[in-house]
Structures are given as C-alpha cells and as structure tokens.
Amino acid sequence: MSTQSAVALNKMVFRKTNARTGRHLAVTPENSTMRHLCYGRIILNSSDPMVSFSNADRETGVICLSGNGLVKTGGNEFELGQFDAVYIPRDSAIEVSTKTSVDFAEFSAGVKGKYPLKVVRYAETSKDPAMKFVAGSPGSQRELNILIANNVEAGRLLAGFTFSEPGFQQSSSGGLSVGSCSSGSPRITWTGRCSAFSKYRFSMSLAGTISTMGIWCLRFRRRMRLG
C-alpha cells in the first residue's frame, strides 16, 4: 500500500471505538474525510455511570446500541432502550446516565438553525414500512431501519441502522470495503441531508469499527426512500 493510500485509509477507517468507557469522539472533520459530521461513543456502566457535555453549535443524534440509559436535556428526560434514539438541538446541555450499562452512538453536525427536541422509539418506527424495509436480492439483502429522517425536523442529520444477511459484505460505489455483518449485528449509518453538505456517510459495526463511504447523500436518501 502506498503512503498516500495509507494516509487516506487512516482518515476513513476507525477501529476500537468501543474500547473505552465514558464519552469519546472518534471521528471529526479534523481527523477524517468528513466535512461536518462527527461521531462518538458513550459507554457507561456501574463504574462510570454518568457523563455530561454541551453540544455548542452542533445538532446531535443519539442511538442506543445496547442496554438502557437516561438522557436529560432541555428540562426533559428520556429513558432509552435498544435502538431508541433522540434528536437534540444545538446549544443544549446534555446529561447521559445509566443504572446498569448502556452503549450509545453519538453523532452531530454544525447547524445554524435550532430544531425541536424529539425522542424516536424503535417500537414505533419498526411498524412503519417507510422506516423499516428490506432492500436487495437474495444473497445480498439488507433490513434497513431509519430512525432520524423525515420524522424529525433537523438541519443536517439522517440516521439509522442496517441488518445484513450473514456473510454479506457491504461496499461503496467506489469499492471501499466496510466489512461484513451478521444478521445479529447491526451496522449504524448516518449522513447529511443534502449532497452539498457532505460527500460521505458513516458506516459502523457494533464491533467498534467505522468506515466512511464515498456516496452522495441525495443518492443515499433515494435509496432509503426518503425522497
């Protein structure tokens, strides 16, 4: 691999994002090919049960990957279970905690507008055929679950996760491999709301590896049936 290719790969693949407890930002515009999007992980347990932070000028989305946790912001609090999500507007003070253990994916993007706080329940989105559906042909089928999209008023964020058939390997149109998924291990994906915003989207497995994929956001929105 050439030095140039190695540098490019280092800005597109991020491993072991689940290796530490607490809140840690793994991907930012400064260390990746992202223009605006940031990704972090919030992993809490009995030894490290709470974290608080402010999101400044960045709207924020949080998806519960496993466990149960409490998110407090704007005078509201939400108990989130697996695959529940919450959209948090910019300029918010945020507190995340758990009584047992929880693993959250956190993602954000800078915006000028301030949009309404909203919790998204997977129990509800999973019943909506526009938010949960199967794409692809046998051997390469994916179950797509959309959490933050047209159901949430936001500036730039879209988010969801995908279950793939065992052994199916996803890749971008540019040929960048982002790894295999089993039917029991979802891949979290998120991106911007317009192609002018960012050329890339994130793809992350629960094993803690993230890749950025060169795919235009509007193309992604069409594939996700978001119009």
Within a domain: residue 150?
Answer: yes
| Distance from the first to the final alpha carbon of the chain | 39
Within a domain: residue 181?
Answer: yes
- Percent of all residues in the chain with a pLDDT value above 70, rounded to a whole number: 68
User: Given this model, what pLDDT does residue 16 score?
Assistant: 80
* Cα(159)–Cα(145) distance, integer angstroms: 9
Mean per-residue pLDDT for 27-41?
85
Cβ-Cβ contacts under 8 Å for 128 (sequence gap 6 or more): none
Say how many domains are in the chain: 1
Domain holding 149, by residue range, is 16-223
**Using an 8 Å Cβ cutoff, are 65 and 103 in contact?**
yes
**Using an 8 Å Cβ cutoff, are 192 and 199 in contact?**
no
* Cα(204)–Cα(187) distance, integer angstroms: 5
Within a domain: residue 1?
Answer: no
Within a domain: residue 2?
Answer: no
We report the CATH number of the domain holding residue 159 as 2.60.120.10
| pTM as predicted | 0.78
User: Which of 114-123, 159-168, 174-183 is the most confident on average?
Assistant: 114-123
Cα 46–120–53 angle (5° rounding)? Answer: 45
Within a domain: residue 183?
Answer: yes
